[in-house]
Amino acid sequence: MATSKQYEERTTALILPILEQHGFELVDVEYVKEAGSWYLRAYIDKPGGITIDDCEVVSRALSDRLDEEDFIDDCYILEVSSPGLTRPLKKPKDYERNIGKPIDIRLFRAVDGVKELTGTLDSYTDSTVTVTDETGTKVIERKNISMIRQSYTEL
């Protein structure tokens, strides 16, 4: 039996040409079980945001490709959507887009007695994120970050 990661990788390969044709960006693909049902989700974006019509076009084309390939053994629900305002930062381009902007971070382990912070994203590397908040500049190990996303809190 294939793993969720394999399903996600094959789905990514199928959806990328569809997105390229429409000028959309792939944010993420996930194959997860929730409340007893499997979900195959594709999160897409474009400058100015994704519309319901955009999601429908991609969903129909992807559904056709998935039916042709038929590599997922389980019954699943296909969802194509925008990542929304609370979009996590995952890829280098997500970090680039948010340099100089406020971000929210949750940590697995407290740093200086804090597990959650909001600050300005100064820079990032493969292993760290540098953030400035009201107490100063912090360099945080990315392996200690459980969640990082753009903040809509006024700094």
Instruction: Classify domain 92-150 at the CATH topology level.
Output: SH3 type barrels. (2.30.30)
Q: Digits of tens for pLDDT over the chain (155 positions)? A: 579 999 999 999 999 999 999 999 999 999 999 999 999 999 999 988 899 999 999 999 999 999 999 999 999 999 999 988 778 898 888 899 899 999 999 999 998 888 999 999 999 999 999 999 999 999 999 999 999 999 987 65
pTM score, two decimals?
0.73
In the prediction, which pLDDT does 154 show?
64
Architecture of domain 4-81: 2-Layer Sandwich (3.30)
Would you list the DSSP string of the chain? ---HHHHHHHHHHHHHHHHHHHT-EEEEEEEEEETTEEEEEEEEE-TT---HHHHHHHHHHHHHHHHHH----S-EEEEEE---TTPBP-SHHHHHHHTTSEEEEEEEEEETTEEEEEEEEEEE-SSEEEEEETTEEEEEEGGGEEEEEE--S--
Comma-separated ranges of CATH 2.30.30.100 domains in the chain:
92-150
In the prediction, which pLDDT does 40 show?
97
